[in-house]
Structure 1
Amino acid sequence: MPADLQLALLIAILLPASKIIASLCTRLGIPPIIGELMVGVAAGPACLNMLHMRLFSGTPATDAFLLLAQIGGFVLMFIAGLETDIERMREAGPTAFLVALLGVVWPFFLGAGTAHLFGMSWNNAWFLGGALTATSVSISARTLMDAGKMTSPEASVILGAAVIDDVMGLFVLAFLAAACNAKSSAAFGLAPQVSSWIQTTFPVAGAHPLVVEIALILLSVTSFFVVGYGAAKKVIDPLIRLFRKIDATEAVTSCVLALMLLYAVSAEWLGSIAGITGAYLLGYVCAEAKLKTLVERTFSAIGHGLLVPLFFISIGLSSNFRALGGHWLLFGSVFVVAVITKVVGCGTAALSMGMGSVQSLRVGCGMISRGEVGLIVTAMAAGTGIFNESEVAVMVGVVLLTTLVTPLIMRGAFAIHCPEDLDDSHLVTALDGRLISSELSMAEVESQR
């Protein structure tokens, strides 16, 4: 069967299945994202192992499916940026930074300590701790969308902190790469490659590789956010107006999609941060654009109708619990540490910044899921021989399981009522009352006419 038909068959099987299971989850009061993830788990190597069936194994169709799923991750984060409450995000800046900081420190040190207690060397243990640092913002963003909480104060802190600790996780990655002289890290972005050249050219820099790498990553990240945000803020509305003049169907959608992909590539290569962060940054800027509704309408259909479900299915497809073998106790302990350190560390930070206890709990729960940076650290450790197959399976399993439980725990946390929720509801009620009064007044004017 030709590769294009194999890809079509994969999507035709998995996409409707994810929507059906997601619908069943919704009826049972379970976040629909769990249904999409579980379809991937069922189709993955732990169950059906669909991608390794004779019909699909070793064909370009499986690679194309996974690549298409990664594009779905970019689209998801762009939509999350569009739905971000800008004013609340700005107000949450200091809180988000402290939440991110403690959300990196606690998992790094306690994760490494736990791994060492189970017999891992400190070199291996530091890598395991590093893999636990960064939060997968895409999972929390989708859960907040499904729950209708994207405009809540907690969402602003969670999204801001997740982006910040993604950057902090890269500094941990640079530290680990310099500590073990991992050659594979040179391929991750422009900064490590420039760092390698500087260390080779200048002996003084070669004697202090960690300082050079940290400095270049800091410069790259700062430059990307400053230049990327400033450029998008200045040109996004004129660009959308220009795209509207193109005499073609959905020209605005196509051109904004291309711009989003360009930001994702730039974030990964020039900014040395995850590509989804670049997509989120552009969406964040578009949230303030005057022509936001033109973009939001079609991206929601493309994303939630096709690409976003494929992204979550692909996460489930990466799971393989069979490789854990006799390491279930290590897996369980690392998983508990991964959950507790985020809930306690991030929740404590939010509480110390004046948020309520329930709100702080929600923030901590929203930071549980792990993602791209954790998998990058794991892959680097595996490529350099630091992690063996079972340790890789432990980390991939922890990433997957934290992804699965985050929506459930977040839903439970948001189900707990607190006084701050009443304040927000009163505000919404007041706004609705003003809108209703305005509509009634307009109706009276029209009747008098």
Structure 2
Amino acid sequence: MPIQPILNLIEDLPSIASLSLSMPVPLLASSASAEHAPIVLAGVLLSLVVIYVASKLGGELSKLLDLPPVLGELVGGVVVGASVLHLLILPESGAVASDSMIMTALQGIGNLSPEVMPDIFASQSEVISVLAELGVIVLLFEIGLESDLRELQKVGVQAIAVAVVGVAAPFAAGTIGLMAFFHIAAIPAIFAGAALTATSIGITSKVLSELGKLKSREGQIIVGAAVIDDVLGIIVLAVVAGLAKTGEVDVLKVGYLIVSATVFLLGSILLGRFFNTAFIGIASRLKTRGKLVIPAFVFALLMSFLACSLRLEAILGAFAAGLVLDETDKRKELDQQVMPISDVLVPIFFVTVGAKAELGVLNPMMPENREGLIIAGFLVIVAILGKVVTGWAVFGQPGINRLAIGVGMIPRGEVGLVFAGIGTASGVLSDPLEAAIIIMVILTTFIAPPCLRFIFEQDPSEAGAVVFGASAVESGQGLDGAAISANLADQ
């Protein structure tokens, strides 16, 4: 599927959705005729069956291996996706209807001509993509509910420092390294360096929640930094897209993004205190089912809409809504009601992320992959080290597990794929450089969850001494992981 429409969106700076869902494909009603609507619905239903089976089997297998279940969902997506079974295929990677086993089956069942399959494929993929975006919105809303605004405010300065270092370090090292070692031109090198700045807040926050570390100091810094990192990522993306298109940067647009993001996040928190009273009043007056969760989701979706209207990401609005409602007396009850919805929608997000991973680019036997693999090796090293060093940007937090903070910022996930897609559409990236970025995204996405699990299972002082030779820290200053897990379980 052509990706050119994204460049037009970037020119106007709309919301860049965290699953690269900003790539427009025809909607159900406009792309497929009414007579084919049942086939589109059948494709969506079958795709959801594949997604849930892959999610559950992958998650259960990861649990048996004592790994984060989210890693199993990602791997399950890889198995059913473009790399293995070709069941869940999405057009963002350039796939066509004939690449999908589900589309092939539907064509046979409905006795359809090949000419109508592209529209059916686009419509079915659009529905799955929208559901995936709803999944990540629900995930960030849930993460906001589980976060403690007061604790997040305490580590706010540290989170900003981590985010700034996490953007500046890999961007500078990647851009300069590509130009110096591989003699890549400036604009392609800048594009690749920009792809190194991203952090997938969805993946990291899910792992932290599963480990019972979301409310730890490390968890709060990681989540706060990842949110800020998302905002900075939008700004960087706007800059590099402008460079690719005109060779110049629109300072006014960049300034608008910075101001609007700051005003939105701070304003949401400040005005949210007034909304809490109104929310409790509305919920107490309603008498029908969903009297708590429906108003909460209305608020979350409205905040997501406002973020989009300001040309920010929808997930920032959802996260802010969760933070606001975390301050209400109904937070524990609301958290319990949100969980089943999250269980239904969030796996769609993670499985589709895995399904987009094309592992064919890792095959060194193919000559066209070799140059990309060499560049990818450099990018992976920069991607990992550029985020790991962020843990040492934290100050005034004795006993903090700095390595955990750095590793928590590593996964690029779907955000990195957005950069690669836009760079390819603009004609800036060569095939080897594009493959290298995709490899970097795949590896950082998959290695971070088990590494984060391993690091948190170690005593922070021991981890620092073994890995970096750091002196031991006072064990009493860290938060007790078991207590946090029990606290989350009670909620």
Quick check: TM above 0.5?
Answer: yes
Q: Which amino acid aligns with 1:91?
A: K
Q: Distance between the aligned counterparts of 1:421 and 1:13, measured in 2?
A: 45
Asked if 1:66 is matched to 2:129, the reply is yes
Q: Distance between the aligned counterparts of 1:263 and 1:278, measured in 2?
A: 5
Q: Which residue of 1 aligns with 2:11?
A: none
- Report if aligned partners of 1:133, 1:169 keep a CA contact under 8 Å in 2: yes
Q: Which residue of 2 aligns with 1:286?
A: 325
- Report if aligned partners of 2:280, 2:328 keep a CA contact under 8 Å in 1: no
Q: Distance between the aligned counterparts of 2:444 and 2:329, measured in 1?
A: 37
- Report if aligned partners of 1:263, 1:282 keep a CA contact under 8 Å in 2: yes
Residue 375 of structure 1 is aligned with which of 414, 417, 425? 417
Q: Which amino acid aligns with 2:140?
A: M
Q: Which residue of 1 aligns with 2:177?
A: 114
Q: Which residue of 2 aligns with 1:342?
A: 387
Residues 3-402 of structure 1 aligned to structure 2 (within 5 Å): 3-50=40-87, 51=89, 52-53=100-101, 54-55=104-105, 58=118, 59=121, 60-116=123-179, 117-181=181-245, 210-270=250-310, 272-303=311-342, 305-323=343-361, 325-326=369-370, 327-344=372-389, 346-350=390-394, 352-356=395-399, 359-371=401-413, 373-402=415-444
Deviations 1:184-222 (A, max 9, x none): xxxxxxxxxxxxxxxxxxxxxxxx953212221122112
- Report if aligned partners of 1:182, 1:384 keep a CA contact under 8 Å in 2: no
Name the one with the larger helix percent. Answer: 1
- Report if aligned partners of 2:166, 2:387 keep a CA contact under 8 Å in 1: yes
Aligned to 1:42, the other structure's residue is in SS state: helix
Q: Distance between the aligned counterparts of 2:221 and 2:408, measured in 1?
A: 9
Aligned to 1:89, the other structure's residue is in SS state: helix
Could you say if the C-alpha distance between residues 237 and 311 of structure 1 is closer, same or farther in structure 2, counting changes exceeding 3 Å?
farther
**Structure 1 stretch displaced more, 126-135 or 8-17:** 8-17
Q: Distance between the aligned counterparts of 1:284 and 1:246, measured in 2?
A: 23
Note the C-alpha offset of 1:177: 3.0
Deviations 1:382-424 (A, max 9, x none): 2211124443333233223212111111111101103555445
Residues 437-448 of structure 1 aligned to structure 2 (within 5 Å): none
Note the C-alpha offset of 1:224: 1.5
Q: Distance between the aligned counterparts of 1:96 and 1:36, measured in 2?
A: 28
Aligned to 2:357, the other structure's residue is in SS state: coil
Q: Which amino acid aligns with 2:50?
A: I
CA RMSD of aligned residues (A): 2.5
Q: TM-score, normalised by structure 2?
A: 0.76
Q: Distance between the aligned counterparts of 2:161 and 2:416, measured in 1?
A: 20
**Structure 1 stretch displaced more, 311-320 or 43-52:** 43-52
Could you say if the C-alpha distance between residues 182 and 45 of structure 1 is closer, same or farther in structure 2, counting changes exceeding 3 Å?
farther
Note the C-alpha offset of 1:289: 1.3
Aligned to 2:289, the other structure's residue is in SS state: coil
- Report if aligned partners of 2:245, 2:426 keep a CA contact under 8 Å in 1: no
Q: TM-score, normalised by structure 1?
A: 0.83
Q: Which residue of 2 aligns with 1:196?
A: none
**Structure 1 stretch displaced more, 359-368 or 383-392:** 383-392
Deviations 1:154-198 (A, max 9, x none): 011111111112222233223323333459xxxxxxxxxxxxxxx
Could you say if the C-alpha distance between residues 428 and 44 of structure 1 is closer, same or farther in structure 2, counting changes exceeding 3 Å?
closer
* Structure 1 unaligned regions, length at least 5: 184-207, 433-449
Q: Which amino acid aligns with 1:254?
A: I
Note the C-alpha offset of 1:9: 1.7
Could you say if the C-alpha distance between residues 323 and 416 of structure 1 is closer, same or farther in structure 2, counting changes exceeding 3 Å?
closer
Q: Distance between the aligned counterparts of 2:321 and 2:141, measured in 1?
A: 7
Could you say if the C-alpha distance between residues 380 and 427 of structure 1 is closer, same or farther in structure 2, counting changes exceeding 3 Å?
closer
Aligned to 1:319, the other structure's residue is in SS state: coil
Q: Distance between the aligned counterparts of 1:237 and 1:182, measured in 2?
A: 49
Note the C-alpha offset of 1:128: 0.6
Q: Distance between the aligned counterparts of 1:422 and 1:264, measured in 2?
A: 40
Aligned to 1:375, the other structure's residue is in SS state: helix
* Structure 2 unaligned regions, length at least 5: 1-37, 90-99, 107-116, 363-368, 461-472, 487-491
* Identity percentage of aligned residues: 29
Could you say if the C-alpha distance between residues 251 and 394 of structure 1 is closer, same or farther in structure 2, counting changes exceeding 3 Å?
farther
Note the C-alpha offset of 1:73: 0.6
Q: Distance between the aligned counterparts of 1:156 and 1:48, measured in 2?
A: 38
Aligned to 2:193, the other structure's residue is in SS state: helix
Q: Which amino acid aligns with 2:375?
A: L
Q: Distance between the aligned counterparts of 1:5 and 1:415, measured in 2?
A: 44
Q: Which amino acid aligns with 1:214?
A: V
Q: Distance between the aligned counterparts of 1:110 and 1:375, measured in 2?
A: 20
Q: Which amino acid aligns with 1:178?
A: G
How many residue pairs get aligned? The number is 402
Q: Distance between the aligned counterparts of 2:403 and 2:410, measured in 1?
A: 11
Note the C-alpha offset of 1:23: 1.4
- Report if aligned partners of 1:77, 1:283 keep a CA contact under 8 Å in 2: yes
Q: Distance between the aligned counterparts of 1:422 and 1:24, measured in 2?
A: 35
